A and B are shown apart, each in its own frame.
Chain A
Amino acid sequence: MNNTQRTTGSVSGVIANLVTVKVDGPVFQNEICYVKLDDVDLMAEVIKVIGDTAYIQVFESTRGLKVGTQVEFMQHMLEVTLGPGILSKNYDGLQNDLDKMEATFLKRGEYTNPLDDDSIWDFTPLAEIDDVVRAGDWLGQVKENWIDHKIMVPFSFAGEYTIKEVAPKGQYKINDTIATLIDKRGNEIKVTMVQKWPIKMPIKAYKDKPMPSKILETGVRTIDTLNPITEGGTGFIPGPFGCGKTVLQHALAKQAEADIIIMTACGERANEVVEVFTEFPELIDPHTGRKLEERTTIICNTSNMPVSAREASVYTGMTIAEYYRNMGLRVLLLADSTSRWAQALREMSNRMEELPGQDAFPVDLSAIISNFYARAGFVNLNNGATGSVTFIGTVSPAGGNLKEPVTESTKKAARCFYALSQDRADGKRYPAVEPIDSYSKYLDYDLVREYLSKRVSPNWVDDIERAKNIILRGKEAKEQINILGDDSVPIEYHLRFWRSELIDFVILQQDAFDDIDANTPFERQQYMMEFVLSIADTKFNFTSFEEVNPFFKKLINAMKQMNYSEFNSDTFKKYLSEVNDILNERRAE
């Protein structure tokens, strides 16, 4: 592109962050421009063009903006900068490095470098001279924290290239040339460790995207045991306020067996992000023993930060996730909350006086959400390696009612549904994932069932079904008991109810704030599930319904103590034998 002839324009109108600009040349949809306000340049994006008027959304407060202010168009879309050094960074929605800002208060128009130009990286070449390569192929790698960060042929390179030169093993800065490529026409192109990519475009530098088959282990029992999500899968967590969306996402960020975690705080509370800033440098990744912070990048556009940058934040997160996926890594992308992103779209659409859809959301909301979720997935790379982006978003439905546009659109796009229920949260049954309504469509995938029968046990998928059945029957029994009264139903009804309570208390409920209970490895989940199911199969002697309740309460209490103890430790075994004693008291021969 020709940088010498940038289009310019001048402001002709302002309503909040929607600004109209009279332009003197060509502009394109989603082009980035800068509004030259006094001593600061405010970044903005073209969102509509009519004749010589460009409608731009400014990513900052437009306070004091006047008609006639100059605007310069940059000839590129909103991009992220990709290269070593992204991990452990705290970015805003536009990928500004928040730690590089001096002042306590955010200053509008202050944009900081997402990477560190002067850091030195140990480079090892992976490609050789005369290799034929294409976009996304690995040229070399550097150690980023403990991860092998691949330096790739830039994603924007079309077609095939031949390697003329690769830098030898050694120390380099990100802007040093690490390879020289030759294109079909014989032009030489220099490649550094840095590339840029427009955030609204999916990165597709991989071979294909097969059906996901492996389970992403999260240590959260209600997910792994009941409704597992796959590597490269999609899921969402809708729930009324205060029901545990953020706590659940933080648990996933801490425990999930992924190589990289990208957390996007999208229009939510700053204090929650601060919690992550404070905790993650202290916490240890249970899988590698390294600091959690080392595998995590945080993108935070909290609710008081500019609304239009909120929309960008989820795309920034997704693009970074796709970048690491192309290195053959398992990436988990979390976004809290995608409703805030939808609301940002709504605010803008209303300002543009577009025809509103349901609840005044833009009419194409559903398509926007589907396109976004479609960027997740498990991929085979050109070199045979695999990578994945697993995406789990939260949804904050207005009034807690799941029949609203964002929830409904997301339900069409995501394959796992973890519905948080107000009743469970009120009863402090955390995590408040409603076991009956929630689902994982992956359990229907043959490949996933096969995987589970090998990874866990041949009966595992059946066990899951049985557990769900017990929960359902328990709920029905409870309803009957409520209608007919405790003593007017057969004892079996009480047993059904208490079997489901047993699963609820021992498997589903999990204390996110207890060091041991918070994270349950798969082996332990299998052990407890099989134990609980065996209890559900056991016949007990009861002469009256009044004996059922105290028996199960005692049992649940002892089993919860097991959950709080180190797996297979002495304390664990002590409670186990206590549990067996309780069971033996009433075991029918």
Chain B
Amino acid sequence: MSTKAFQRIYTQITQITKATCTLKATGVGYDEMALVAGRKAQVVKIAGDEVTLQIFSGTEGIPTNAEVVFLGKPPVIKVGEDLAGRFFNAYGEPIDGGPEVEGEEREIGGPSVNPVKRMQPSKLIATGIAGIDLNNTIVTGQKIPFFADPDQPYNQIMATVALRAEADKIILGGMGLTHDDYLYYKNTFDNAGALDRIISFVNTTENPPVERLLIPDMALTAAEYFANDKNEKVLVLLTDMTLYADALCIVSNRMDQIPSKDSMPGSLYSDLAKIYEKAVQFPEGGSITIIAVTTLSGGDITHAIPDNTGYITEGQLFLRKDTDISKVIVDPFRSLSRLKQLVIGKQTREDHPQVMNTAVRLFADAANAKTKLENGFDLTDYDERAMAFALDYSRELLAIDVNIDITKMLDTAWALFAKHFSKAEVSIKRSLVDKYWHE
């Protein structure tokens, strides 16, 4: 951004804190962008003629006589078809050596869709992963995070899901990505020949953390352009939202706000909801689906970040390592897709809901049996069979590297029921058993 004639310039800063600086200025709008000694900043408070600016990259080395230029507008992004295939930083500036994007300038973080203008999400997204398609089916317009420990391969799984999802555009919002992860995404998309449908906004660990706060809004404003203006099916990947929330926390602490649970700002719920609620199905066919990653610390989902996320998103996909088969699975117990009801048994085979529930219930029986075993009790015959079922179920369906279609998943489940249980133990609606049970 270069300075232009009408822009107002000041050179007298009266107060500097770790994240902000304050100066006397007039005619400044709330949320307006500014440059402080060339660094990007945004108006966060106006009190009379005193304006406080948050400087994204921090205030280290900012002198009191720094040049402050107000840009007269909130953060913006230029949208157009040319975004496709490009990599940007948090301010929407190219980082791939390519030219600036030409196009219409749009404010980021704009208003939400009128609820009555939304459509009910209804199109299934197939991923080939049974932990998702069979147990936690996702649909276009949904927002759902992976809850994962930091050491789990969530970026690999996200990339796999993204490529299989048949989206028109995939928009990656990377927050605090390591440089290696950034390159991993780039290479994976490149190797799949998908680069022309990918747009990336990336803040790596090498960039200032507060800049991350702009990433989701940048990614989602671009997504709105493709989904609403161009009626495209857009998939937005946000990784890692925990690092986003950490940045919120840094800012609110530096601004002396009263923290609530886990030293997070009291507005965490609203802040996260504003992002996730951009997921939408438009009546004209375009959609924004958000798949995010929220890393957990020590698997604790009661921490404010995963907790608030869970209250906002339409379910969550837990990754865990299944020790019996030594592979990562989408945990059937704690994972949930809230929108699966809209498609299962409707766009998929009629037996889908009951098969899914029954398999998970039997898997739970196996878990109980295991606990019994660990506590030194004898197992009943049923317990033994449940455990044998669970092993097959993990191996043939849940393992993340299994890639089959949903009908195949259902057939496999029926085969496993028949192999290990009686009809009464399975307890599925009689009409379905008559049709699908093969000894």
Contacts and interface: CB of A to CB of B under 8 A. Distances in A.
B116 A553 contact: no
Contact of B113 (A106, A350, A426, A553): A106
A485 interface: yes
B378 A271 contact: no
Given A303-B312, A396-B311, A277 B115 contact: yes
B431 to A, nearest CB: 10
B120 to A, nearest CB: 5
B120 A98 contact: no
B29 A63 contact: yes
Given A275-B120, A546-B380, A426 B112 contact: no
Given A105-B110, A561-B430, A350 B116 contact: no
Given A271-B141, A274-B119, A343 B269 contact: yes
Interface in B423-439: 424-425, 427, 429-430
Contacts of B310: 240-242
A581 interface: no
Report whether over half of chain B's contact residues are helix, strand or loop; otherwise say mixed.
loop
B178 interface: no
B336 A242 contact: yes
Which bucket holds chain B's interface residue count? 35 or more
Contacts, number: 192
A486 B111 contact: no
A398 B307 contact: yes
B184 interface: no
B364 A104 contact: no
Which bucket holds chain A's interface residue count? 35 or more
Interface string B406-427: 0000000000000000001101
Nearest to A240: B310
Contacts of B46: 13-15, 65-67
Contacts of A62: 30-31
A20 B48 CA distance: 9
Contacts of B375: 482
Contacts of B32: 64
Interface in A243-281: 267, 269-271, 273-275, 277-278
B274 interface: yes
Interface string B49-82: 1000000000000000000000000100000000
A154 to B, nearest CB: 30
B10 interface: no
B112 A554 contact: no
A98 B46 CA distance: 32
B261 A399 contact: yes
Given A15-B46, A65-B30, A300-B115, 11 more contacts: A62-B31, A65-B29, A105-B113, A242-B336, A270-B115, A277-B115, A305-B112, A343-B270, A347-B270, A550-B425, A556-B427
Contacts of A344: 270
Nearest to B427: A557
Contacts of A340: 269
A317 B357 CA distance: 37
Interface in A322-352: 340, 343-344, 346-347, 350
A304 B274 contact: yes
Contacts of B429: 561, 564
Contact of B427 (A107, A401, A553): A553
A168 interface: no
Contacts of A275: 120
A14 B30 contact: yes
B228 A64 contact: no
A427 interface: yes
Contacts of B150: none
A400 B307 contact: yes
Nearest to A546: B380
A269 B314 contact: yes
Nearest to A404: B261
A530 B150 CA distance: 53
Given A303-B273, A398-B304, A428-B357, A270 B427 contact: no
